[in-house]
Amino acid sequence: MLRIGITSRALFDLDSSHSIFENEGLEAYKDHQILKENIPLKPGQAFLLVKKLLNLNKQFKKEKLVEVILLSRNTADTGLRVFNSIEHHDLDIKKAAFCGGNSPHVYAKSFGAHLFLSTEFQDCKSSIENGIASARIIPSKRSFLETDDLRVAFDGDSVIFSEESQKIFDERGLKAFDKNEKDLANKPLSGGSFKSFLDELYKVQQSFPKTECPIRIALVTARSAPSHERVIKTLREWNIRVDESLFLGGMDKTSFLKNFGADIFFDDQLENCKSASLEVPTGQVINFNTRNYA
């Protein structure tokens, strides 16, 4: 089963409530949430992604393929509004951890989460240090729900694949990068922090008949020939098939992601994330060395 841990602020729009906490303090925040606990919260940045993930269970019917766990800084008292909102929006979320002001990432591993989604950089940073793939949800005004199918797009280096080749590009430039990838074309790349999530998502995809599959996976990378060969052979070695592979040679990814109709795009570069978020929901992949998070 694919398990996703998500914070309440990523799932629902809690911006106004958070402003009360920051400006008036914890007691005012608590009073506000209790007063409003029967007023459903509006969808947040990752709401439609979660809805589509949970809809996979309704489409498959035989058994649960996906489980979403709520991981929240709220107390159970103030978190009652969140659970009421989950019920109002008909989201099949049964498990939760309310951490009373502490970072909820610590329970992601205990719940067996393959991915942790949050709006807070530090929560994501702590999650990756605890061995759980993590992405910070970037604010976006665009989301897709026109179709029932789920469309997930991934960057390659430092996301699906390790940072080893990216470091060569950063330190020695494109020519050295291309030579390295061409020389090592037959040597599979090491997995990045999102390899395990991709693997689990692919397993869910394979549960459906190919002609009726409601999941499409895309690789959207700045790589181009001759560095494409190593990527293709690596995925082949991993026994993972992606539906679409876009080798853009450094072009901006935004319009391609819009045309793909991504429900979420995962990239480690903040500049790419900000650009993509203008058109599609985007998650900044947090790695051990991530510093660019403004």
Q: Which residues are catalytic?
A: 155
Q: 263 CB contacts (<8 Å, ≥6 apart)?
A: 48, 49, 52, 143, 144, 150, 151, 152, 280, 281
Burial of residue 108 (CB within 10 Å: 0-12, 13-18, 19+) is: buried
Tokens of 151: 């469309």
Q: 14 CB contacts (<8 Å, ≥6 apart)?
A: 8, 41, 44
Q: Give the integer Cα–Cα distance in Å for 168 and 203.
A: 32
Name the 3-class secondary structure at 113: coil
